[in-house]
Structure 1
Amino acid sequence: MTINHLQREEVEVLIAKVIAGMQDLEVINEEEAPFSMISMETWDWSQGVGLFSLYLYYKETGNREILNYLTDWFDRRLREGLPAKNVNTMCPLLTLSYLYEETRTPEYLVICEEWASYAVNEMPRTQEFGITHVTRDSRNEGELRDETLYMTVLFMGRMGVLLRNEYYVQESIRQFLVHLKYLTDTQTGLFFHGWSFIRRDNFARVLWARGNAWYLAGLVDYLDMVQLPLSIEIFLLASMEQQVRKLTELQADSGMWHTLLDDKDSYEETSATAGFAYGILKAVRKGYISETYRESGIAALQAVLNRIDVTGMVQGVSYGTRLGLTAQFYKDIPQSSMPHGQSMTLLMLVESLYHLDE
């Protein structure tokens, strides 16, 4: 099946399969984390990314079954009690902020206000006031990571708009700038996984694919959420174009990207490729980058289509990835069907609906 011959109805069938696959994910093997990154019945980053992709699909289609799934998911989690606040557990709140606008459920807004206030005013900071990438199992003192922008900063900016709180918006802008300062590889325009103010280095200096995908996919959505000062918007778009230009150079003949972008000995990874396809195609459609990059986005889309099995499960997705001290650490991360793989693929498929006739 190729994108050039797909009809809208066929894409929607694929979307339904991917959604069903996401909702039916099962934990088969013992997980490394102290909680499940695979099951959709957990409140954390992997599930949060999945929820947001479902919400965007609901907004595209008006499918009330998706809206009901989302509200039921949050209502169950609220009855169970929420986990401690950290960078990764912030992620589901982005979707909840939009569900508040859909449903006007007062409890949704109360929780969003509480967590947003914590993110802006109390969440641990590094030097230069970057958000410390605190997770459930580690405080990661002095560490910046590129996934923080997707997991927490999008929600921060979004709540600034929802609450008409300019300070929240400005704080989200500062986080983008601090992370870009310390994570950008000036030789390539790509992004390192992390930076330590204690070590004063970028750890293994790896150009981790999914971290770069978090940045690109997050930025195209952030630009939808927040009205930026022109100077900041131009700055961020320039970083986007620089990143995409290098990505096209490193794209494999298969249309995929390797889990370490500049290391052909590392495996080709599906969630990052789907995230890049989504980010590139949406950026082209929005006029953020040149039309010449569309071909790269379509090639990536086609490659991911080939990794969706008959049950709708997306194959070749790397498990949740901590900061590693060696390149080999990233090469050894196991692969599994994961909510973030399903969700990045869903985002890509929904975006593809705009490109079927081109």
Structure 2
Amino acid sequence: MKRFLNFYGLLIIFALMQNSVMAQTTEKFPAKYDPTNVGNKVGNRFVESAHVLYGKSIAYSEVCTWYGALKFAELSGNTAMKDKLVAKYQPFYAEDKKLIPLYDNVDHSVFGALILELYMQTKEEKYLNKGKVFAYNQWAVPAGMKLTDTVSNYVKLGHSWQTRLWIDDMYMITMLQVQAYRATGNPVYINRAAKEMVFYLDELQQKNGLFYHAPDVPFYWGRGNGWMAAGMTELLKSLPLSNPERPAILKGYQTMMKSLLKYQSANGMWGQLIDDSNSWAESSSTGMFAYAMITGVKNGWLKDPKYLLSAKNGWTALVDQIDAKGDVMNVCEGTNKKNDKQYYLDRKRNTGDLHGQAPVLWCAFAWLEKDNIPVNAK
């Protein structure tokens, strides 16, 4: 009997410990910061907004926002929002068909990730077939295209012909291939993404865990690092524990997250240039880093309680940047690489820019996701 009681007592203690962990990540926020309230506000703002173009086709920033809104609608149970988001795509089969991007660069190709999310939520084959075309063409060199010697070497090593070693790529390439894996279960896609990620980690991550914008641009641009953080996060969420590249990717992710703790400001935000305390507080990077940390805590990749605190501080600071309309303030405008520190510091601060709207929705759905900590998480 005594042995039974001791065993029963251990079960109670274990259950309390589990509940304590769950409470850490499912804790309620005040109404202003409640993920469902914020997600509804920003998601509805997106539903009502006009398309944003990148050249003559849909901008990647809209794709990322649309994806975030769909995931939020799914996890929050907002079927009305989901229906509107699906309906928003239907003109692409008619009058808006001309707005569909080509498969000619990373910023255009990520459009396929949106189509694949539509498939996963509706199970309509038309989305799957089109999305797979984007994923296929990210690795298949277009007929007649002459590649530079550098890119030709990348392709010979098994990398995408769209490889250019800008940190932005590690969301655009990774997200498309991960979505194709999620939609089909075909390991070819996730293996591609993992190999590509390790290549970028080797080439661009510095000893402090942060990333140069490109090999010839030695600055820690906030949103660029945000793309890398979000890309690693999406990849780790779906990458099998048995994948040989996983340890290197997890290490790169954890090293980055540890460094970000050091550079988060007292108000919860990160700067336009992460390591420059005099640079202005920037919203899109703050949202991307918060998303990476929320997800890392929920999946057991980040065990120290300071990461959850950092994520909460980043989230509340980000929500404070949302105006009455649902537009995010202090968002860095679209930015190419340039070996000039002042160039980054002088970038325009936009309000309502979808580069900033997207990570708000990512964070909102991340808070709503269930904890998913495997027994053998490292």
Same-fold status (TM-score > 0.5): yes
- Residue 101 of structure 2, aligned match among 77, 83, 92: 83
Query: Which of these residues, 137, 148, 153, is aligned with residue 127 of structure 1?
Result: 153
Residue matched to 1:328: 342
Which position in structure 2 is the counterpart of 1:264?
Answer: 277
Q: Aligned letter for 1:300?
A: G
Residue 191 of structure 1, CA deviation: 0.9
Query: Do the aligned partners of 1:25 and 1:338 also contact (CA within 8 Å) in 2?
Result: no
Once residues 262 and 312 of structure 1 are traced to their aligned partners in structure 2, the CA distance between those partners, rounded to angstroms, is 29
Write out per-residue CA displacement over residues 261-282 of structure 1, whole angstroms, 9 at most, x where no aligned residue: 1112321100110111111121
Distance in 2 (CA, whole Å) between partners of 1:258 and 1:9 is 21
Deviations, residues 318-339 of structure 1 (Å, cap 9, x unaligned): 1111111211111111121211
Deviations 1:233-283 (A, max 9, x none): 222111111101111111111111111111123211001101111111210
**How many residues end up aligned between the 2 structures?**
328
Cα distance in 2 for residues equivalent to 1:126 and 1:254 = 46
Q: 1:343 to 1:276 in 2, by over 3 A?
A: same
Deviation of 1:304 after TM superposition, in Å, equals: 0.9
Aligned to 1:191: 211
* Residue 152, structure 1, aligned to residue 165, structure 2: no
Q: CA deviation at 1:353?
A: 4.6
For residue 63 of structure 1, report the CA deviation from its aligned partner: 1.9
Following the alignment from structure 1 to structure 2, what is the Cα–Cα distance between the partners of residues 132 and 264? Answer: 37
Instruction: Tell me the SS of whatever aligns to 2:245.
Output: helix
Residue 46 of structure 1, CA deviation: 0.4
2:188 is aligned to 167
Which amino acid counterpart does residue 317 of structure 2 have in structure 1? A
Aligned residue for 1:68, secondary structure, equals helix
Question: What are the within-5 Å matches in structure 2 for residues 58-97 of structure 1?
Answer: 58-79=73-94, 80-81=96-97, 82-85=100-103, 86-97=105-116
TM-score, normalised with respect to structure 2: 0.79
Specify the code of the residue in structure 2 equivalent to 1:16: N
Q: Report the counterpart of residue 39 of structure 1 in structure 2.
A: none
Aligned to 1:302: 316
Preserved CA contact (<8 Å) 1:43 1:77: no
Distance 2:368 2:125 in 1: 34
Letter in 2 for 1:128: Y
Aligned ranges for residues 160-239 of structure 1 at < 5 Å?
Answer: 160-186=181-207, 188-194=208-214, 202-239=215-252
Displacement after TM superposition at 1:126 (Å) = 5.6
Highest Rg: 1 or 2? 2
Which amino acid in the other structure matches residue 259 of structure 2? K
For the residue of structure 1 that corresponds to 2:107, the secondary structure is coil
Deviates more, 1:149-158 or 1:296-305: 149-158
1:283 counterpart SS class? helix
Aligned-residue offset at 1:105: 2.5
Distance change in 2, residues 1:146/1:302 (3 Å): same
Secondary structure in 1 aligned to 2:101? coil
Hey, what's the Cα distance between the residues in 2 that align with 1:248 and 1:237? Answer: 17
Question: 1:104 & 1:43 partners in 2: Cα distance?
Answer: 23
SS in structure 2 of the partner of residue 193 of structure 1: coil
TM-score normalised per structure 1: 0.83
Deviations 1:199-236 (A, max 9, x none): xxx22301111111112222222222332535422221
Partner of 2:9: none
Q: Is the 8 A contact 1:120 1:168 kept in 2?
A: no
Distance (whole Å) between structure 1 residues aligned to residue 183 and residue 50 of structure 2: 35
Asked if 1:6 is matched to 2:30, the reply is yes
Structure 1 distance, partners of 2:301, 2:291, is 13
Q: Which residue of 1 aligns with 2:42?
A: 18
Residue 5 of structure 1 deviates from its aligned partner by: 5.2
**SS state at 2:331 partner:** coil
From 58, 62, 73, give the equivalent of 1:43. 58
Flag structure 2 segments of 5+ consecutive residues without an equivalent: 1-26, 371-378
In 2: Cα distance, 1:176 partner to 1:115 partner = 19
Tell me what 2:373 maps to: none
Tell me how far apart the structure 2 counterparts of residues 165 and 348 of structure 1 sit (CA, whole Å). 28
Runs of 4+ in structure 1 over 6 Å off: none
Bigger Cα displacement from structure 2, 163-172 vs 112-121: 163-172
Q: CA 1:330 to 1:127, structure 2 compared with 1: closer, same or farther past 3 Å?
A: farther
1:7 deviates by: 4.6
Q: Distance in 2 between matches of 1:349 and 1:166?
A: 29
In 2, are the aligned partners of 1:216 and 1:276 still within 8 Å (CA)?
A: yes
Aligned to 1:242: 255
Deviates more, 1:314-323 or 1:283-292: 283-292
Q: Percent identity?
A: 22
